Structure 1
Amino acid sequence: MTQKTPLIALTLGDPGGIGPELVAKLLAEGEATQGCHTVLIGDRWLWQEGQRVAGVNLELPEVESFKEARDHSGPVFLEMDTVSPEQTAYAEANAAGGASVLAVLSRCIEAHKAGEVDGICFAPLNKYAMKLGGLGHEDELHWFVEKLGVTTFFSEFNTLGTLWTSRISSHVPLKDAHTYITEERIVAAATLIHDTLKKAGFDAPRVAVAGFNPHAGEGGTCGREEIDIIAPAVEACVAKGYPIVGPFPADTVFLKARDGELDAVVTMYHDQGQIAIKMLGFDRGVTILGGLPVPVGSPAHGTAFDIAGQGKANLTPTRNAFNLVKAMCLN
């Protein structure tokens, strides 16, 4: 049976950030979009501004719908009118820019629901702008979950390609992180990232679970979460047929990951994994929204307001994000 060539929706991100420039660089490079159909969707003026900043000039065929993109071998442009140049500015998070992002992503989600889009890659967003523009969730992942009707466990994954991280809690105050540590959530997080790694092309994913307390509780002298919750969760994963290991102290487990002994680490809260993975490779990191029925990815960095509009943005994370979404579609 011949596999269908995937169609990936690509967005320009927040108008005040580096997203339009990155998308222009990606499409000008051309290599990433080979082997798939690519639909760039957004405002015409913003796409033109991104090209100006990137120093490129691309003539993309224009389409009226996602369906039409399958008639083209290369990238195409689908116009939306969501924000005017007068409503936004570089290095500025505002309601108009946030509403624009939400409108474009909503169109991509509806296209996926209609069976027209196989994957979504979005340029950097600004959560504050999105909340000003109408986002009522803690982050874009929870917004996607509601829009797509997801009822099972979900998690944001961060990856450097050969190393992935998941977490039990995400964008919540640190004082509340311990309330999310349950056996059910740990089992769900560990098995989800294992299964997602398989979809991303890992034959036999090696997944470890980090502890919560200093030294993984040090036998209960620094806390009992490891004894009472985390270790039983790891045992439950093994009983389900998943080769999950841990818990390991969070300050040493990433040494194993760095040295190639692990493919993924499940962490207990946001910064426990984020600090480590960004130290290991901030200039190539990718964020994957795990647990959704469609591959969704983005560069792991933000809108970089300090360099927006200057043509300095590093393409590598965006290229990696697009390639990973494409690989997940193909798998």
Structure 2
Amino acid sequence: MSEAHRPTLALTLGDPSGIGGELAAKLLASGEPQRLADILVVATREELDRAAAQAGVEVDVADAPGDGRPVLRDPGRPGPLPTVTGRVDRECGVWTKAALEYAVGLAQAGEVDGICFMPLNKAALHEAGMHAEDELRWFADLMAYTGPTSEINVLPKLWTARITSHIPMAEVADRITADRVTEIVAMFEEMLRDSGIEAPRVGVAALNPHNGENGIFGRHEIDEIAPGVAAARAEGIDVQGPFSADTIFLKGRDGHFDGIVTMYHDQGQIAMKLLGFDGGVTIQGGLPVPITTPAHGTAFEIVGKGVADTNSAQNAFRIGATIAARRLARA
């Protein structure tokens, strides 16, 4: 990576009641993120010191840029650092939400090229006033971004995106259109390229059992999904489908695809978590800057025990830095 293309990433510590601070402290203490990017740690000194103590490590940060160390940026949150651990807490949600808002502000101001956030708690954020259907929609609203988005889930050898996400199952079928399929496939293929996959191969899942069985079990495959795939292929994308949802992940597991587009949340999530939960990453796909996070949650049950594994956090930072660097190079 040339210095001209070295990205700057904002790193937030996640919900103070969970393992996010420990993960961030271990990550910074390892020195690995510093090899990939310049870092703005969005936290107070007290918050970072407490996280380092929980993790049993020392973290060396600077108050201003200049010597290559991560730089501490206090987001100026109201009130003291919450002291509760291991449970849902509104004040922890307020603390988390404010850090994320500050990080997005850094991205919009051009101070950072990407954001990596440690695990948050949706219930705490909801109590704190985050009422969008999920974090991705909330980030898009903050950025006033109206383009195509999809949560992307990543394992070392397979990525997934989805046409619909955090909505009731009763609404899924009506949200699946040919245009939506085409735009999500195109966005997904670009994200795969930005991650370093030079010629991505994308597969698309069906909605209905047995791929609709030629319309016997439903016509979404014929009327919406296949035309959407054909339109994406006409744009030069290496995409195939639709394939039956109960077989497409066998093709993915065996290396036929780099990424799979599913129709709804659990269609992909169940398969991915069976294929491998450890090391997983979630990307807020389609946004103007890469935003990544470990795929797991706040793990309240192990807070402070020193056993939190950093594999997913390391992967999340690495992927975010890689995407940011490649976008800088392309620009």
Which band: TM-score by shorter chain? over 0.9
Correspondence 1:134-153 to 2 at 5 A: 134-153=129-148
Deviation at 1:58, TM superposition (A): 2.1
- Quote the residue 1:180 is aligned against: 175
Q: Does 1:301 align with 2:296?
A: yes
Q: Does 1:214 align with 2:209?
A: yes
Q: Distance in 1 between matches of 2:88 and 2:76?
A: 19
Correspondence 1:232-311 to 2 at 5 A: 232-311=227-306
Greater displacement, 38-47 / 259-268: 38-47
Equivalent residue letter for 1:84: P
* Partner-residue secondary structure (3-state), 1:49: helix
- Quote the residue 2:47 is aligned against: 46
- Quote the residue 2:329 is aligned against: none
Correspondence 1:38-187 to 2 at 5 A: 38-63=39-64, 69=65, 71-82=66-77, 83-85=79-81, 87-187=82-182
Deviation at 1:50, TM superposition (A): 1.3
- Quote the residue 1:66 is aligned against: none
* Partner-residue secondary structure (3-state), 1:15: coil
Equivalent residue letter for 1:316: N
Aligned partner of 1:320 among 295, 312, 315:
315
Equivalent residue letter for 1:251: D
- Quote the residue 1:3 is aligned against: 4
Q: Distance in 2 between matches of 1:59 and 1:319?
A: 18
Q: Distance in 2 between matches of 1:5 and 1:204?
A: 23
- Quote the residue 2:192 is aligned against: 197
Q: Does 1:32 align with 2:36?
A: no
Deviation at 1:44, TM superposition (A): 2.5
Structure 1 residues 227, 4: CA separation in 2 closer, same or farther (over 3 Å shift)? closer
Q: Distance in 2 between matches of 1:35 and 1:209?
A: 33
* Partner-residue secondary structure (3-state), 1:134: coil
Equivalent residue letter for 1:270: H
Q: Distance in 2 between matches of 1:145 and 1:289?
A: 9
Equivalent residue letter for 2:313: T
Q: Distance in 2 between matches of 1:160 and 1:47?
A: 29
Equivalent residue letter for 2:71: V
- Quote the residue 1:22 is aligned against: 23
| 8 Å contact kept, 1:44–1:80 | no
Scaled by the length of structure 1, the TM-score of the pair is 0.94
Q: Distance in 1 between matches of 2:86 and 2:214?
A: 49
5+ residue gaps, structure 1, are 64-68
* Partner-residue secondary structure (3-state), 1:59: coil
Deviation at 1:88, TM superposition (A): 4.4
| 8 Å contact kept, 1:283–1:314 | no
Equivalent residue letter for 2:80: S
5+ residue gaps, structure 2, are 327-331
| 8 Å contact kept, 2:29–2:60 | no
* Partner-residue secondary structure (3-state), 1:220: coil
Equivalent residue letter for 1:301: H
| 8 Å contact kept, 1:121–1:321 | yes
| 8 Å contact kept, 2:12–2:41 | yes
Equivalent residue letter for 1:151: T
Structure 1 residues 131, 88: CA separation in 2 closer, same or farther (over 3 Å shift)? farther
Deviation at 1:80, TM superposition (A): 3.5
Equivalent residue letter for 1:14: D
Equivalent residue letter for 2:7: P
Q: Distance in 2 between matches of 1:54 and 1:215?
A: 49
Q: Distance in 2 between matches of 1:59 and 1:204?
A: 40
Structure 1 residues 120, 61: CA separation in 2 closer, same or farther (over 3 Å shift)? same
Greater displacement, 178-187 / 29-38: 29-38
1:223-264 per-position Cα deviation (integer Å, ceiling 9, x unaligned) = 211111111111111122222100001111111111111000
Q: Could you say what the CA RMSD is over the residues aligned between the two structures, in angstroms?
A: 1.4
